[in-house]
Structure 1
Amino acid sequence: MALRTAVAAFALALSFVGIADAAPRTDLRIGLVLEPPALDPTAGAAAAIDEVVYQNVFEGLTRIDETGAVQPALASSWDVSADGLSYTFHLVEGATFHDGTTFDADDVVFTYGRITAADSVNAQKALYAGIDSVTAVNANTVEIKLKGPDGLFLFNVGRGDAVIVAPESAANNANTPIGTGPFKFVNWQKGADLTLEQYAGYWGTKPALTKVTYVFINDAAARVNALLAGSIDGINNTDASTLPVFKADPRFKVVVGSTEGETLLVQNNAKAPFSDLKVRQAIAHSLDRAEIIAGASSGYGTPIGSHFPPHSKDYVDLTGTYPYDLDAARKLLAEADYPDGFSATLKLPPVPYATVGGQIVASQLAKVGIKLTQVNLDWNQWLTDVFTNKDYDLTIISHVEPFDIGIYADPNYYFGYNDPDFQAIMKQLNETTDEAARKELLIAAQKRLAEQAVNGYLFELAQTGVWSAKLEGMWQNAPVEGVVLSGIHWTE
């Protein structure tokens, strides 16, 4: 009898071992091309910040889902006044920050006060300039009053720039972020990796993953090797030229979608000769988008003629505004008193579409006498020299922020573009909620930027991800910056 009992117990133990062996993994290692310079999305412009923390560590009153739609987040619901000037947000109850402090209406008031303050360093501060007041009605209710109607207000509330932070921890969020999200920050080995773990006190639905490590791999060959070796489980966006390797390997799935990334040859409009419309028009006529897309992104990407994504219902194709025409480019340069062209610098961030694209652009502009000296920068140098100090002639960058055509209305933005006509269009757009009227204004805004050749509009960046075939729940498209972890899970 004792023997039969022992055998049965052993068999039961073996069955539990089998169950344990079959249990899906709950850890994940994700490769990222760029390491974030800091970790506070409300105080930095780099998209790499949101790739790590948006909807993972930090949450806003609303959130943007994979389709680009607005969903509840720290606000479970909201009411809008008839005149569109007052939004009453009803906050979730029981939410806490990762340091144990309670989330309530006072944190919302603090966050928006910080965003709109005179000394705010928020990269999208202009989006929130229409806020008139933020009032805590009670611990679980906040009223935000606007100066005028804003058709994109709920969307902007859901961006990474407007995630809720606490007064107790906000000052240190750049290096030790503390939010209310499903994952808490654990460790950052700068130059190597960053680790998040599931937050046990999370107020919402617990994610399947318990630990996520972001591994920073700037070199394309190293990313391929890391995926093939299994030292990372996936990457949300990698060099399109490497995709054939993974398409042929059943261990992986290739996930290709679209982004909000308008890839631009940015011109310093505040600086000669780029302050001259004819020079900018000449550059526009010199750009062969098809060649740039083929070389810089292996054919992935959609040509654009203005700063607006082709997948939008309000998009208008303006790629024919300045067709590829070298004779027209030379004529315009001569009219601008540059018959022999000129020399300029092209400062490039460390991403393949920019470094490879820069070589192609330099070759194309050389055909009309514009001689470019390429300067390769690391990410922090680019943010300092180009974005902050505006010390540049030309650069190539993808602006991946959602619905960001309004940045051209800011004369202090690094483009150096100061156009009262465009500013008037955007002012009217921001005050309009009727969808038909908004569409007409958006078309007018796109056409104005195209006609003014403010930047060289190249292509809409594709999202080309490679993941373990055993993973599910990754976003195919990127309507906002970020690798949202909450739905990702292993199937075995």
Structure 2
Amino acid sequence: MPHRRPRLLAALLLAPLLSACFASGGGEAQGGSADTAAGSRLRVALAFPPAENLSPYGADATILSRLGVTEGLTALDANGAAAPALAQSWRRQDEHTWLFTLREATFQDGTDVTAAAVAASLTHATRAKPAPAALSGVTVGVKAEGARTLRVSTGSSDPVLPLRLSSPSLAVLSAKAYAAKNGRVNPVGTGTGPFTLAEVEGSTSARLDRFDDYWGGRAQSAGIDARFIADGTARANALRTGQVDIAEAVPVAQAATLEAATRRETATTRTTSLLLNSAAGPFKDPKLRAAARAAVDPAALAHGVYENHADAGAGIYGPAVTWAAGKRTPPVGRAAAGAPHGASVTLATYDNRPELPEAAQVLKQQLEKAGFKVELVVREYSRLETDALAGRFDGVVLARNTLVDTGDPVAVLASDYTCKGGYNLARLCDRAVDEAVADAEGVGENGRRQDAAMAAEARILGTDAVVPLVHQRVITGVGTSVKGVLLDPYERVLVGTGTRR
């Protein structure tokens, strides 16, 4: 699941105050009634089966946050700013040190959330291999100071650390999660969210029960029965026939088959891009990358494949990142396009998001018209990711939420496009890009950081290792009896304490 995934989801989904930011149905999200005293169970269809055994450090972290299992020290509010979660407040002590004050909370196994427990959990995250995307290029140390105070230090100045700590991959788990001798981190019954993961049936389903001692208040639903349904048509059918109450990522082609009252369309920070392998194969040549970029017509994809439920790709950040368009500058250092001369390339994508195979088929035709020979590979995402990260394809069509990892616009650049990036599917390693991203990482003031991010974007686009295709809107299917679904532009949350039927 590219959240990392097309993947960056904390207490927004959990705290009643923050739930109101994204709840559908207005005040109904927090309203109760006599028949919800015990609460009915929610039936939810998710698009992405676990790809990493529900590891909290990678793509699966988003599954855990969307289902209300995990949360971090901070969350993102509706404006993308850091908001309290397990930490009720924080302050910057000096250039390298932040102090976080924890709220009183309990882990789902009954143990207390203490500074020592949080420090141990975050230290495990800093040692994970590969490193969570939110920690790309960052050295972090965590130490308890008393029962409720946490000292977080960074190797270099990190002005957006509270944003970074909102990442789903930096969720806090109890000591029990790390007890396995094989090193596997187990989120079953060890999170802090309103729903505890009780049982997982491989990549098929999961059962979650309400966690009655949740610090943010008792959830109105008794639990969640989650089904992992990779096929988008099947997800839409499950909603239409009443088998599920909520279906995420309804395909554009299926939207018209749902009643208008059951469709929710949300502008998101997700961009679908063509990532070209710049380290090996034909696209190691920047002239052939330029030829591929010139062959692509994003407007045709937005209109034809996405039926105008998306905007033509303008850059790494789309219209949902409201400040980006006004700060965008032309790409820097682009090579002139060369002639493909029948170069053979392998283009890969996944079918969890049903528009992607169709988009890849259109790209195949566009590239072949420009003189490439194209082989198309389509798999379920969990069967594609390892090969994609290893550079076994010449191009990958990926839907990527640009703010999911931290909410910081610079973080996705560091993880996806730098030499040491943990999710660098383009295998880009360019000195000028690394320097531009490093410059952006060092800027604290919000407006200046945005300017620096756009300067780095111009450098990245200039390599033609990434070709933005469309900026997506997400359609969520919601049963007419369901209240309080959280429609989040960052795609970190889906259900919370007020979600019920």
TM-score bracket, shorter-length normalisation: 0.7 to 0.9
The RMSD of aligned alpha carbons is 2.7
Question: Is the 8 Å Cα contact of residues 37 and 220 (structure 2) preserved in structure 1?
Answer: no
Give the distance between the partners of 1:203 and 1:21, measured in 2 at CA.
23
Letter in 2 for 1:134: V
Give runs of aligned pairs for residues 21-420 of structure 1, distance below 5 A. 26-38=40-52, 40=54, 42-46=56-60, 49-54=61-66, 56-81=68-93, 83-93=94-104, 95-117=105-127, 120-124=129-133, 126-127=135-136, 129-131=138-140, 133-170=141-178, 171=180, 172-174=184-186, 176=188, 178-248=190-260, 252-316=261-325, 332-334=337-339, 338=340, 340-351=341-352, 352-387=354-389, 389-402=390-403, 403=409, 404-407=412-415, 408-411=417-420, 413-420=424-431
* Inter-partner Cα distance in structure 2 for 1:240 and 1:173: 36
Matched letter for residue 347 of structure 1: A
Cα distance, 1:393 vs structure 2: 1.0
CA contact (8 A) 1:27 1:209 kept: yes
1:318 Cα shift?
A: 9.8
Q: Is the 8 A contact 1:44 1:123 kept in 2?
A: yes
Q: Distance in 2 between matches of 1:446 and 1:409?
A: 12
Q: Secondary structure of the equivalent of 2:473?
A: strand
Q: What TM-score comes out, normalization by structure 1 length?
A: 0.85
Q: Which moved more, 1:225-234 or 1:65-74?
A: 65-74
Q: Is the 8 A contact 2:136 2:420 kept in 1?
A: no
Deviation at 1:164, TM superposition (A): 0.9
Measure, in 2, the Cα distance between the counterparts of 1:195 and 1:35. 14
1:287–1:364: 8 Å Cα contact kept in structure 2? Answer: yes
Give the secondary-structure state (helix, strand or coil) at the position aligned to 2:262.
strand
Q: Cα distance 1:482–1:23, how it changes in 2: closer, same or farther (>3 A)?
A: closer
1:359 corresponds to which letter in structure 2? Q
Q: What SS does the aligned partner of 2:175 have?
A: coil
Letter in 1 for 2:76: I
TM value normalised by structure 2: 0.83
Distance 1:100 1:370, change over 3 A: same
Per-residue CA shift, 1:416-449, capped at 9, x if unaligned?
A: 1111112112212211112232132122112112
Query: Which segments of structure 1 move beyond 4 Å, counting only runs of 4 or more?
Result: 19-25, 317-322
* Closer/same/farther in 2, CA of residues 152 and 54 from structure 1, 3 Å limit: farther
Instruction: Note the alpha carbon deviations across 1:104-137, whole angstroms, 9 max, x for none.
Output: 11122222222222x5333315447242x32211
Q: Post-superposition shift, 1:61?
A: 0.6
Shift of 1:366: 0.8
Q: Aligned partners of 1:29 and 1:434: how far apart in 2?
A: 43
What is the deviation of 1:410? 3.5
Secondary structure of 1:471's counterpart equals coil
Structure number with the bigger relative contact order (C-alpha 8 A, sep ≥ 6) is: 2
State the match for 2:456 in structure 1: 445
Distance in 2 between residues matched to 1:134 and 1:67, nearest whole Å: 27
**Structure 1 stretches of 5 or more lacking a match?**
1-18, 323-327
Distance in structure 2 (CA, Å) of the matches to 1:442 and 1:429: 6
Gaps of 5+ in 2: 1-32, 404-408
Query: Which residue identity does 2:123 align to in structure 1?
Result: G
Local SS of the residue matching 2:283: coil
User: Once the 2 structures are TM-superposed, how far is the Cα of residue 271 of structure 1 from its aligned partner?
Assistant: 1.0
Secondary structure of the equivalent of 1:31? Answer: strand
Deviation at 1:147, TM superposition (A): 2.9
* Offset at residue 21 of structure 1 (A): 6.6
SS at match of 2:291: helix
Paired with 1:58 and 1:256, the residues of 2 have a C-alpha distance of 25
Count residues with an aligned counterpart.
Answer: 452
Native 8 Å contact 2:137 2:414 kept in 1: no
Structure 2 distance, partners of 1:87, 1:319, is 32
Counterpart contact for 1:58–1:179, Cα < 8 Å = yes
Give the % identical residues.
23
C-alpha distance in structure 2 between counterparts of 1:243 and 1:211, whole Å: 27
Greater gyration radius: 1
Distance 2:328 2:366 in 1: 17
